[in-house]
């Protein structure tokens, strides 16, 4: 079965049709910059542009970088505050011309990694962390998702962890990979102390450069890069929309 997945991020909005039996993209993904300001009207228009690129789809899944409850977006740390308490599923359905499933972006990436990637077959507690504009998280216990965990907002040295350890922090502060890895390690140790996971999976755009920082991180828990890399959100959104979560 093929479904369309669209991944809304703080810097870009990207999508592609997905073969939900294999987790592979069936066409080259299409990406647009996240509009500024990233308010409801601008972002829904950008999502409609991405969806139009691929034509009609039986199932459309859309990720959102924040808490999503019953199709309503309750937080928007890295998008315009007009998204707070917005009826996202209703608005995005109208924008793309058909029903959609909306879910947290890291949860979508985690679903994909647990089905097709680095978490496949792993029991116990698995935490997928996506490093990008912010830090997203997806927590699984024996393969079952605990949604909307938002571990990027754990306090680290008096700040939201993502303010110090997201990839955007590395870029904006001009940190070397070693300097950034030190911050990530502190964050991961904090997560370790709270959850005692069996596996940590590092995703997001930075996962394709995992060789630059993962060898520098020394913690108790095994840490591996996401196998689906930056396509995980697209794949997971399509999978959930098609009923395959």
Q: What per-residue confidence (pLDDT) applies to 233?
A: 97
2, 11, 19, 119, 139 from 16: Cα distances, Å: 10, 17, 10, 22, 25
Q: What per-residue confidence (pLDDT) applies to 58?
A: 93
Structural domains in the chain, sorted by start: 2-107+231-241 (3.30.420.40), 121-227 (3.30.420.40)
CA distance linking residue 20 with residue 80, whole number of Å: 31
CB atoms within 10 A of CB 54: 18
Q: What per-residue confidence (pLDDT) applies to 162?
A: 95
Going by the DSSP 8-state scheme, the letter that residue 13 receives in this structure is E
pLDDT tens series, the chain, 245 aa = 779 999 999 999 999 999 999 999 999 999 999 999 999 999 999 999 999 999 999 999 999 999 999 999 999 989 999 999 999 999 999 999 999 999 999 999 999 999 999 999 999 999 999 999 999 999 999 999 999 999 999 998 899 999 999 999 999 999 999 999 999 999 999 999 999 999 999 999 899 999 999 999 999 999 999 999 989 999 999 999 999 66
3-state secondary structure of 167: helix
What is the 3-state secondary structure of 114-156?
HHHCCCCCCCCEEEEEEECCCEEEEEEECCEEECCCCHHHCEE
Residues in the chain: 245
**pTM (predicted TM-score):** 0.95
180, 183, 186: which is closest to 209 by C-alpha? Answer: 180
The set of residues, in sequence order, having a beta carbon less than 8 Å from that of 193 and lying 6+ positions away, is: none
């Amino acid at each position: 079965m093929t479904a369309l997945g669209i991944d809304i991020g703080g810097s870009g909005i990207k999508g592609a049709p997905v073969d939900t039996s294999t987790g592979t993209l069936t066409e080259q993904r299409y990406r647009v910059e996240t509009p500024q300001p990233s308010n409801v009207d601008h972002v829904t228009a950008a999502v409609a542009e991405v969806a139009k690129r691929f034509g009609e789809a039986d199932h459309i899944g859309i990720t959102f970088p924040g808490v999503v409850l019953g199709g309503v977006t309750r937080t928007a740390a890295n998008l315009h505050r007009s998204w707070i308490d917005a009826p996202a599923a209703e608005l995005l359905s109208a924008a793309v011309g058909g029903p959609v499933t909306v879910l947290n972006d890291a949860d979508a990436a985690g679903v994909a990694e647990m089905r097709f990637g680095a978490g496949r077959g792993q029991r116990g507690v698995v935490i997928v962390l996506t490093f990008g504009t912010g830090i997203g998280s997806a927590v699984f216990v024996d393969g079952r998702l605990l949604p909307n965990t938002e571990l990027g907002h754990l306090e680290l040295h008096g700040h939201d962890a993502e303010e110090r350890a997201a990839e955007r922090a590395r870029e904006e502060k001009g940190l070397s990979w070693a300097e950034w890895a030190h911050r990530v390690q502190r964050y991961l140790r904090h997560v370790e102390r709270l959850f005692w996971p069996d596996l940590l999976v590092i995703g997001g755009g930075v996962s394709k450069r995992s060789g630059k920082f993962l060898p520098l991180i020394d913690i108790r828990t095994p840490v591996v890069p996401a196998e689906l890399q930056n396509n995980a959100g697209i794949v997971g959104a399509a999978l959930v929309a098609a009923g395959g979560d």
